Amino acid sequence: MIRKLFPYIGKYKIYAILAPIAVIVEVFLEVNIPRIMAKIVDIGIANRNLDYILKMGAMMIIMALASLILGALAARFASVASSGFAKEIRRNMFYKIQDYSFANMDKFPTSSLITRLTTDVTNTQMTFMMMIRMMIRAPIMLIMATFMAVSINARLSLVFMFAIPFMAIALYFIATRAYPKFRAMFKKLDRMNAVIQENLIGIRVVKAFVRGEYEEEKFKDIADQVRETQLRAERTVIWNMPIMQFAMYGCMLAISWFGGNLIISGNMLEGELMGFISYVTQILMSLMMISMVFVMLVISRASVSRIVEVMDEKPDITEKPDPEVLLEDGSIRFENVSFGYGGPDGNKVLENINLNIKSGEVAGIIGGTGSAKTTLVQLIPRLYDVIDGRVFVSGRDVRDYSLKTLRNAVAMVLQKNVLFSGTIKENLKWGNENASDEEIIEACKAAQAHDFIMSFPNGYDTVLGQGGVNVSGGQKQRLCIARALLKKPKIIILDDSTSAVDTVTDAKIREALKKNLAGTTVIIIAQRIASVIDADKIIVMDDGKINAIGSHKNLIETNPIYREVYESQQEGVVENAGA
């Protein structure tokens, strides 16, 4: 499974190759040490040959030191390789997510993506590190030490014939049982992160509604579930160690017994048994290592599959080969457009929309909440793709343009907008990084933001908190409009973008837009009739369909929905005026 991620190792490949090489040499040195020790005992000590003992002893020390250094080097290479691997996976995941469309994003909750980018990548990193060290070390050590042990005494080696199958079967059972449990655990972990994230983002609402206790309860609940699934998963893998140790000490016991008998009967030398026991330790250690790596692999298989899911997700909004990069004007045409969030088989949110907006026109969209106003305009910059029909901008299907061309030409001030942490100026430049100070000020004046920005002690250098917490709702909306204006778009879409702005300022913004944006197509979605009253055409949406299109005068006379909305808003004005 983890192999699927190997292409991401990139420039850290050399370290991933060096680490196993260092390990191989280290193991080679390490397995020779017990043999030398056996010789010291059986030849040097038995013959009281001090020269031999010193010579062999010196060799043993050199080998031990060299294997120590190589071990340290291997560890270093492995950490460089694995942390580089993790970095590359994260970077690629992050880039991939940037390519996701809104529809792709609807599939992965944000919190799950965060867990995948952090915990899952860390798990994979650890496994990878173990793989390039232990997965190489353990089998080589196993083979070499077995070879050595057999060469010392083949009959005594038969003991392993019993131990190894026993360990393999135990390992198989543990691994097959653990995988689904770890997957379940990660799912709960996602849920917990979602609860935390939602709570932290909405902490002001939680406090305003005094729902702290309810949220605590909710958190405790999910935290308990995480604990339980974790325990359930761990409960399977904790058997690994005791079983391995049981096998290991069982082997030791058997070998001491049989080996002792062999020495007594004169069929084996003491040094040989000492060396043999060292090899047995090495063999069993490497078996234990293999089983540990195996368990890690099982755990990380769940993580790796979650990473691969992110990587394999197909961005469902793609450019066609050789896309059009020129977009001439801001005309918009919808031709029999249908759309639903659930894809072709899901519920239709928009049905059979036909619409024509000329370049430079101001179009208003009015309609009850949930009547699919936002859905309609999202099709213009291709935030979603139509299911049926076609959307044209400047006379060409939106799918013909490169996404960059299209989205640079169509600026959309989203209904749920965000500012990023940083200064006001940085946030504005986000719309157009090459904007000069004059252009920024001009855009802010048009969006009626300049005056309040200047009233801050630091002006345009005022630092905004995360999500723009330190400006008011209406101020935030005006900054978002200014940011969109800086793109100098051919089409600007304001989705309920002045809902938190007072009516006088709202009127001023429309006035300024008209003056500054001659030639730009403007689409204004609004709840207030006043916001769209001077529009060239007003589109009345009702339950996913266009109910009527016309001017204010015309609609008042002919459209009951529009008249009703208008009258209900007039009543408020008259009452207020009378009070």
Ligand X SMILES: Nc1ncnc2c1ncn2[C@@H]1O[C@H](COP(=O)(O)OP(=O)(O)OP(=O)(O)O)[C@@H](O)[C@H]1O
- Per this entry, what is the length of the chain? 579
Q: Which of residues 124-143 bind ligand X (CB under 6 A)?
A: none
Q: Which does 30 bind (CB under 5 to 8 A by kind): Mg ion, ligand X, none?
A: none
Cβ-based neighbours of 224, under 8 Å, separated by 6 or more: none
| In the complex, minimum distance from the CB of residue 124 to ligand X, in angstroms, rounded to a whole number | 31
Q: Which does 372 bind (CB under 5 to 8 A by kind): ligand X, Mg ion, none?
A: ligand X
| In the complex, minimum distance from the CB of residue 481 to ligand X, in angstroms, rounded to a whole number | 17
Angle in degrees, CA 433, 437, 439, rounded to 5: 80
374 binds Mg ion (CB under 5 A): yes
Q: Which long-range contacts (CB under 8 A, 24 or more apart) does 339-347 make?
A: 339/375, 339/379, 339/384, 339/386, 339/387, 339/388, 340/387, 341/103, 341/106, 341/375, 341/384, 343/387, 344/387
Q: Which does 98 bind (CB under 5 to 8 A by kind): Mg ion, ligand X, none?
A: none
| In the complex, minimum distance from the CB of residue 490 to ligand X, in angstroms, rounded to a whole number | 23
Calculate the alpha carbon distances from 471 to 207, 467, 474, 479 in Å.
Answer: 19, 10, 8, 10
Closer by beta carbon to ligand X, 219 or else 341: 341
Question: CA-CA distance, 194 to 110, in Å (whole number)?
Answer: 8
Which of the ranges 62-70, 365-373, 429-437, 554-562 carries the binding residues for ligand X, by CB under 6 A?
365-373
Q: Which of residues 403-422 bind Mg ion (CB under 5 A)?
A: 415
DSSP reduced 3-state for 566: helix
106 binds ligand X (CB under 6 A): yes
User: Which residue of the chain is nearest Mg ion when measured via CB?
Assistant: 374
Q: Which two tokens stand for residue 324?
A: 């059009």
123 binds Mg ion (CB under 5 A): no
Q: Which of residues 53-92 bind ligand X (CB under 6 A)?
A: none
Q: Which does 221 bind (CB under 5 to 8 A by kind): ligand X, Mg ion, none?
A: none
Question: CA-CA distance, 319 to 459, in Å (whole number)?
Answer: 40
370 binds ligand X (CB under 6 A): yes
Q: Which helix (H) or strand (E) holds 229?
A: helix 212-237
343 binds ligand X (CB under 6 A): no
Closer by beta carbon to Mg ion, 356 or else 499: 499
427 binds Mg ion (CB under 5 A): no
Q: Which does 370 bind (CB under 5 to 8 A by kind): Mg ion, ligand X, none?
A: ligand X
| In the complex, minimum distance from the CB of residue 544 to ligand X, in angstroms, rounded to a whole number | 7
| In the complex, minimum distance from the CB of residue 525 to Mg ion, in angstroms, rounded to a whole number | 7
240-264 and 270-312 helices, crossing angle to 10° = 160
Closer by beta carbon to Mg ion, 136 or else 366: 366
Question: CA-CA distance, 557 to 447, in Å (whole number)?
Answer: 33
Q: Which does 34 bind (CB under 5 to 8 A by kind): ligand X, Mg ion, none?
A: none
Which of the ranges 88-96, 287-295, 370-378, 402-410 carries the binding residues for ligand X, by CB under 6 A?
370-378
374 binds ligand X (CB under 6 A): yes
Which of the ranges 266-274, 364-372, 481-489, 563-571 carries the binding residues for ligand X, by CB under 6 A?
364-372
Q: Under a CB-based contact definition with an 8 Å cutoff, are residues 398 and 339 in contact?
A: no
Which of the ranges 68-76, 104-112, 371-379, 453-461 carries the binding residues for Mg ion, by CB under 5 A?
371-379
Q: Which of residues 211-230 bind ligand X (CB under 6 A)?
A: none
Closest CA to 418 of 483, 485, 512: 483
Among 52, 341, 430, 456, indicate the residue that binds ligand X (CB under 6 A).
341
Q: Which two tokens stand for residue 549?
A: 């299109």
Cβ-based neighbours of 153, under 8 Å, separated by 6 or more: 259, 262, 268, 272, 276
Which of the ranges 200-208, 309-317, 373-381, 429-437 carries the binding residues for Mg ion, by CB under 5 A?
373-381
Q: Which two tokens stand for residue 560?
A: 């009951």
Among 192, 353, 372, 380, indicate the residue that binds ligand X (CB under 6 A).
372
Closer by beta carbon to Mg ion, 144 or else 413: 413
Exposure string (b/e) for 304-331, b if CB count within 10 Å is 16 or more?
bbbbeebeebeeebebeeeebeebebbb
Chain centroid to Cα 270, Å, comes to 59
Q: Under a CB-based contact definition with an 8 Å cutoff, are residues 360 and 513 in contact?
A: no
Among 137, 188, 306, 373, indicate the residue that binds ligand X (CB under 6 A).
373
- Indicate the Cα dihedral angle 569, 573, 576, 578, nearest 10°: -130
Q: Residues 478-497 vs ligand X: string with x where CB under 6 A?
A: ------------------x-
Closer by beta carbon to ligand X, 122 or else 415: 415
Closest CA to 447 of 400, 393, 516: 516
Which of the ranges 137-145, 217-225, 362-370, 397-405 carries the binding residues for ligand X, by CB under 6 A?
362-370
Residue whose token pair is 């045409």: 333
375 binds ligand X (CB under 6 A): yes
Contacts to ligand X by CB under 6 A = 106, 341, 349, 367, 369-375, 415, 496
